[in-house]
Amino acid sequence: MTSNSWAAIFGGGMPMDFGKSWRGKRILGDGKTWRGFFSGILFGTLVGFAEMFLVDAGLIRYSPTHWGFGATYLDALPLLVVLSSGALLGDAIESFGKRRLGMERGQKAPILDQYDFFLGAMLLSFIFYFNWTIENLFNNYNWIGLILLLILIPLLHRGFNIIGYKMGKKNVPW
Ligand code: CTP
Ligand code: MG
């Protein structure tokens, strides 16, 4: 969930497309860097652990890994890495699409901007943890949670980006 915010904080340096273009447009653009990609995965995973810790401490009720995944932090590690990587990949794929449409870095892409990381995380968890994803995200019990999440995502996304913008980490507040 927070992976992409970390990318914005720690990103910079070598772009993931190494500055290369395809058909006259940048492949991904300067907004997608290796440092942002890997720090997003790393810190996204650490936040996942922090959530598990908070659940264990009784301070919050849910973290994705508590939906019938492993009991220990080590059990949850692969899932957290998959979710975080998916989020950053979704973000990069979105940039790829934006560049193909001729959109500049940071230009607004409604809906995609908000859901890219969620869709990416879902896609990768479908690939790696198909049964877990079906059982825990799309079972009857979690439908309400899923709908709440879909409403919450744009709001949180907006909030994080305004903070990032004020911190001078993002060029635009979306
Ligand atoms: N970032 C990064 N590496 C990534 C993802 C993000 O360095 N893999 C950093 C960049 O500094 C980027 C910022 O996080 O500008 C915000 O991310 P995002 O909104 O996804 O990028 P945009 O600059 O809006 O670019 P795009 O139009 O490609 O989405
Ligand atoms: Mg953007």
Q: From first to last of its 174 residues, what are the pLDDT tens digits of the chain?
A: 678 889 999 999 999 999 999 999 999 999 999 999 999 999 999 999 998 888 888 887 777 666 555 568 888 899 999 999 999 999 999 999 999 999 999 999 988 999 999 999 999 999 999 988 888 777 766 788 888 889 999 999 999 889 989 988 888 887
Question: Is 10 within a domain?
Answer: yes
Question: Is 172 within a domain?
Answer: no
Question: Is 139 within a domain?
Answer: yes
Choose which residue among 113, 117, 170, 171 to substitute to test ligand 1 binding: the one with the highest number of ligand atoms within 8 A of its C-beta: 170
* Contact criterion met (CB below 8 Å) for 31 and 105: yes
* Contact criterion met (CB below 8 Å) for 44 and 6: yes
Question: Is 174 within a domain?
Answer: no
Question: Is 173 within a domain?
Answer: no
- pTM for the model stands at 0.90
Total tally of structural domains belonging to the chain: 1
Quick check: helix, strand or coil at residue 172? Answer: coil
Residues lining ligand 1, Cβ inside 6 A: 7-8, 11-12, 29, 31-33, 36-37, 88, 91-92, 95, 98, 105-107, 170
Domain span at residue 64 reads: 3-166
Locate the ligand 1 atom nearest the alpha carbon of residue 91 and give its number: 20
